Structure 1
Amino acid sequence: MPGVSDFWLREIGAMGEMGPDHGQGGTYVVLAPGVDAPDDLPDDFRTLVSTGVNIMFGFRTLDPDPARAEALVAAVRIYPYEPFAPDARLTGILERGAAAGELMAQANTFAKRFEQGSYWPDRAWEQAIVLDNSAQRGDGYDELLERASWFYEAVSFSEAMKSQTPGVGQAYLGSYTDAAGEWLDGGADYTLHVPADVPAKLFWSATVYDAATRCLIDNPQQRGDRGSRDTDLVTNDDGSVDLLFGPTAPASGESNWVQTIPGKHWFSYFRLYGPLESYFDRSWKLGDISRVASD
């Protein structure tokens, strides 16, 4: 599921399932502003016009083969272009600004105050992506706070990630508190009830992220998610699933468990790939992450 964004992570064009190739693959040429396509461009090449000279290309493969995934990661290199050596005064300014900005970003992300609210009125789950469109423009304004909220906790945005078309694209729900409205605590135990018939054409997953880094939780278990693609996932007789989160493995086993870390707060995304009609009309309702009472 690839796509191209500009420097502000505004989508230039989607590729793959939600793009013009509809998942069949193809060759794309990205053109700088004001640059025409070459006269000799093959007919089967598709063009995208960038809004600037800096672009970002990202993709997510749904192929579960770890060898292919590792090969892609190994091909990426990130390194500094030249040293940055600010003096003491500038260092102080940058450090104070970064600390204040971090607090502002945390509040704007984890305690969202946008109009959309909870996805279901009696649930803590929200639409994690608060941007309305790839241009990041509202009615008469730039979605600056919405942009800051999403890009503090994630990277890149495509309209396919907030699909409005049943059966294609993705849907992202985020939960930052438990059913009682308390921050999710890495030292406590929680459950999440996933009702049967999850409205996802392809698959669904529940993922745990470290609130401090917004990265997948780096736990001793070395596992950050559970979902419908897990062959060992235990399903209830009625087709529902109960997921478990906590610092120690439950007596029932590790199949439905994601390990959390004491002293670290966390949040969760529930993703639906190919969301179906009962997600959009909200007739299917996900349970809240609920804290287990301690003995």
Structure 2
Amino acid sequence: MTGVEQDRYEFRDGFPEADAVGRAWADVDFQRAVTAYRFWYPTVSLEGILNGNREVGLTDGKAIGIVAAGPRQVGFTLNSDTPYGSAALDLRDGPMVVELPAGAYIGLLDDHHQRWITDMGIPGPDGGKGGTYVVTPPGYDRDVELDAHVVHSGSFTVLLALRSLPLQGDQDAALAALRAVRVYRLGAHEQTLDFVDTTELDMDNTCLRWEDGLEFWRVLHRVLSDEPLVAEFTPMYGLLADLGIERGGDFAPDRDTAALLERAARAGRDQMLVSAFAGRRADRIAWADRGWEWVGLVEDNGDFRTESGFDLDARERWFIQAIIASPAMFRRQVGGGSLYWLGVRDGAGDFLDGGNHYTLDIPQPVPAKLFWSITVYDAATRSQVRAEQNSAALRSLFELRDLPTDEPLRLHFGPTCPPGAEQRWLQTVPGHGWFVYLRIYGPEQAAFDGSWKPGDFERA
């Protein structure tokens, strides 16, 4: 029997045979569960970010965590280029205000489904000159009597994400700049959120612990029950209802349904990882003669919208390996924002292996008006690789700052450091696949026209 014949359901006189009925419904339930998993993954991933903050004492609506991130902070493609600030804003008691001073800030607000609300700082409407932002909750219809950028959230819980650029390589000054931001409830400007430095804390701001099992669905059910319905997601709520997951109801799957949901979570996660690391779209390729890929596939768009609707593949590819989204993160514009490229294979087309040694040649000068970096991530955790070196990044403002910038730069990756390459080496771990993000901040024309491009990874 061929594969096509195995996929068919037997009918007699136009009606399904008894064994076809059970098989068809089992297939339907599984397909719907996998589709639902892939669509709702950003929601559960956002809850993973907030859960990690709560585990170290950062209460929603009470505190902001600031961090100079490193390998001890597990987070999907977090980097060490700029210190971060993050907080969960709770809008259930009314709007929240963010006062941003003038300075080198990059920030945004995303709702509980990682839908973009607004950019702030350099890519936002204040343009880095400072400004006040008021984010209002669902259903809020009163006037805001404040000279501010007023934005509306579709959820009661909102993620505030800030970055402060470490100009001239001064990370302490960048952390201090984050502390200058003021966040408070509208009408209670004296009760600002507290800042907590989590740089030295082990944290897990991911959904890794949930993503391949029944807990994924339990977390999703809880979030959806706590938040208003998103009208444009209505068909996807219907998929969940067919699986017994309804907003406001109890999550109590029977044994067979629980097993199906667990199987669908594993399949959905694995399919999304295939999309991230073994994509088939031609538009993912950055340079035709290189293995580098664009990380974001929908330009200048925070919600993965196209003229035809949601670009679901681009959305899934992004959120399985990264967090938060905004137009500025995907903007391919000279001098604007940043560019991200993914490196996951060597020059021979093989996935990068933590037990091998590789070199990577970077032509100089790199077309970065501000700075550039390369960061190594563990393929399984999509977080900075954890190795004895305790570093996962080479940055133009830090590790590479004293090296010549007028000659090609050879970087090294592998379990041990080649002689004399201490400033240009990142450690990988045997038995762990890895990938990199190459980032350019303030990209110049050569980053777009092909006159500059990095080499491929080559086995040493």
TM-score for the superposition, normalised by structure 2 = 0.58
Match of 2:115 in 1: 10
Which range moves more in the overlay, 59-68 or 24-33?
59-68
Match of 1:155 in 2: 323
The alpha carbon displacement at 1:233 in A equals: 5.2
Q: Within 1, Cα distance between the matches of 2:357 and 2:283?
A: 29
Which protein shows a greater Rg?
Answer: 2
CA gap of 1:38–1:72, structure 2 versus 1, over 3 A, is farther
CA gap of 1:168–1:5, structure 2 versus 1, over 3 A, is same
Q: Within 1, Cα distance between the matches of 2:175 and 2:121?
A: 22
Residue pairs, 1:18-33, within 5 angstroms: 18-33=123-138
Match of 2:423 in 1: 255
Query: Do residues 49 (structure 1) and 217 (structure 2) align?
Result: no
CA gap of 1:152–1:237, structure 2 versus 1, over 3 A, is closer
Match of 1:284 in 2: 452
Match of 1:94 in 2: 261
**Counterpart of 2:164 in 1: which secondary structure?**
coil
Q: Within 1, Cα distance between the matches of 2:309 and 2:427?
A: 42
Which range moves more in the overlay, 134-143 or 201-210?
134-143
Query: Do residues 122 (structure 1) and 316 (structure 2) align?
Result: no
AA partner of residue 102 (structure 1): R
**Counterpart of 2:268 in 1: which secondary structure?**
helix
Query: Do residues 103 (structure 1) and 270 (structure 2) align?
Result: yes
The alpha carbon displacement at 1:94 in A equals: 3.1
The alpha carbon displacement at 1:248 in A equals: 0.7
CA gap of 1:165–1:211, structure 2 versus 1, over 3 A, is same
Native 8 Å contact 1:249 1:259 kept in 2 = yes
Native 8 Å contact 1:31 1:37 kept in 2 = no
AA partner of residue 119 (structure 1): A
Residue pairs, 1:73-92, within 5 angstroms: 73=198, 88-92=255-259
**RMSD between superposed Cα atoms in Å:** 2.8
Which range moves more in the overlay, 225-234 or 96-105?
225-234
Match of 2:163 in 1: 60
Query: Do residues 215 (structure 1) and 383 (structure 2) align?
Result: yes
AA partner of residue 162 (structure 2): F
The alpha carbon displacement at 1:52 in A equals: 3.8
Q: Within 2, Cα distance between the matches of 1:203 and 1:67?
A: 18
**Counterpart of 1:153 in 2: which secondary structure?**
coil
CA gap of 1:239–1:36, structure 2 versus 1, over 3 A, is farther
Match of 2:361 in 1: 193
Q: Within 2, Cα distance between the matches of 1:106 and 1:204?
A: 26
Native 8 Å contact 2:399 2:423 kept in 1 = no
1:133-153: CA deviations, max 9, x gaps? 113212212111111100000
**Counterpart of 2:412 in 1: which secondary structure?**
strand
Q: Within 2, Cα distance between the matches of 1:153 and 1:236?
A: 33
Q: Within 2, Cα distance between the matches of 1:262 and 1:233?
A: 29
CA gap of 1:274–1:267, structure 2 versus 1, over 3 A, is same
**Counterpart of 1:5 in 2: which secondary structure?**
strand
The alpha carbon displacement at 1:56 in A equals: 2.4
The alpha carbon displacement at 1:34 in A equals: 4.7
The alpha carbon displacement at 1:91 in A equals: 4.2
Q: Which has the higher helix share?
A: 2
Q: Within 1, Cα distance between the matches of 2:155 and 2:420?
A: 54
CA gap of 1:114–1:37, structure 2 versus 1, over 3 A, is farther
AA partner of residue 244 (structure 1): H
Match of 1:275 in 2: 443
1:82-113: CA deviations, max 9, x gaps? 9x887654542332122211220111110112
Which range moves more in the overlay, 222-231 or 173-182?
222-231
AA partner of residue 135 (structure 2): V
- Could you list the runs of 4 or more consecutive aligned residues of structure 1 that deviate by over 6 angstroms after TM superposition? 74-78, 84-87
Query: Share of identical aligned residues, percent?
Result: 39
How many equivalent residue pairs? 288
AA partner of residue 73 (structure 1): T
TM-score for the superposition, normalised by structure 1 = 0.88
Native 8 Å contact 1:179 1:290 kept in 2 = yes
**Counterpart of 2:381 in 1: which secondary structure?**
coil
**Counterpart of 1:116 in 2: which secondary structure?**
helix
